[in-house]
Amino acid sequence: MIPPIASRFVAGETAAAALEHARETNDRGIGTILNLLGEHYHERDPADADAAAYCALLDDLAGTDLRACLSVKPSQLGLDVGEGVFRETLARVVEHADERDRFVWIDMEDHTTTDATLAAFEHHARERGNVGVCVQANLRRTPGDLDRLADLPGKVRLVKGAYDPPADVAYRDRKRVDEAYRESLERMFDRFDDGVAVGSHDPAMLAHAERLHEEYGTPYEIQMLMGVREDTQADLAADHEVWQYAPYGGKWFSYFYRRVLERKENATFALRAVLDG
């Protein structure tokens, strides 16, 4: 059972709990991106099992009016086992989603997975179009990747980048990462006619996205994590399309631990919860 301290960031251990969270989030005007926790599998069996779990979740969603979609991690679907395994399991999930008129986001992991992730996205974007992919502004290669993706169907989410790549492939200074995010965001608003997904909690970046929308007229949505600036999410949803990334499943502890370490206010929240018993 997930303790109350972690339930701020995790939507429960079961698919049923995740769907209930999605309904509550929808009631606040926010869409839900559901992610079954799991990553870096080195054998095929757990990758197949998680692909089957995603297909079952899609079946559950098919009988609802929920504004919800999925997000999967390449290493969760077997990329560490082999690119062929990842392609097979991802195809199973994407095809199942397409048959049920649902959308699948492909998360981006560390920089060594970028080529395989983008290649898989490009294939499914051309084949079906019900897919999106995440790109990381801190990677030096990202402007070129955005140019490659600009004319494809599907969606692209821009984030700053949560991994720690070496300096020869990524910007490591926070101000330079912010600058790269702004530059990439403008590139997307200029080139991505079908819309932009702004993955950020940074008020400055959200304000920049609003200015770019006014300048270019490109539609956009805002994506934020469950448990982070939730009041702001609800406020933004009054005038913008907002989606919340909501993880669920039994492998919640390491995810929760990362969220606590990321931001000072999260650590303060966790400490207060422990002290209050």
Q: Where are the domains of the chain?
A: 4-275
Residue 232 Cα distances to 153, 226, 244, 263, 268, angstroms: 30, 12, 11, 16, 19
Tell me the pLDDT tens digit for each residue of 86-137. Answer: 999 999 999 999 999 999 999 999 999 999 999 999 999 999 999 999 999 9
3-state class (DSSP) for residue 220? strand
The pLDDT value given to residue 261: 54
Q: Name the catalytic one among 50, 107, 145, 178.
A: 107
Of 128, 155, 120, 191, the closest CA to residue 31 belongs to: 155
pLDDT confidence band for 274 (50 / 70 / 90): very low
Give the count of beta carbons closer than 10 Å to the beta carbon of residue 223.
24
Of 157, 178, 187, 259, which one is the catalytic site residue?
157
Which phi and psi angles does 182 have, rounded to 5°? -60, -45
Output the pLDDT for position 2.
67
Residue 107 bears catalytic tag: yes
- Give the span between the Cα atoms of 131 and 96, in whole angstroms: 12
Single pTM value for the model: 0.91
Render pLDDT for 27-43 as a digit per residue (tens, 0 to 9): 999 999 999 999 999 99
Q: Which residues have C-beta within 8 Å of that of residue 10, sequence separation ≥ 6?
A: 2, 37, 226, 247, 248, 249, 252, 255, 256
- pLDDT digit string (tens) for 68-77? 999 999 999 9
Q: Is the pLDDT of residue 1 over 80?
A: no
CA gap 243, 157 in Å, rounded: 11
The torsion defined by the Cα of 166, 142, 154 and 187, in degrees rounded to 10, comes to 150
With bands split at pLDDT 50, 70 and 90, how would you rate the model's confidence at 260? low
Q: Cα(47)–Cα(40) distance, rounded to whole angstroms?
A: 9
State the number of CA atoms in the 13 A half-sphere of 166 facing the CB: 2
Domain 4-275 adopts which CATH fold?
TIM Barrel (3.20.20)
What pLDDT score was predicted for residue 276?
A: 43
Give every CB contact of residue 208 below 8 A, 6+ residues apart in sequence: 182, 185
Six token digits for residue 236: 């933004």
Calpha distance 148→152 (Å, rounded): 8
Q: What pLDDT, on a 0 to 100 scale, did the predictor assign at position 202?
A: 96
DSSP 166: -
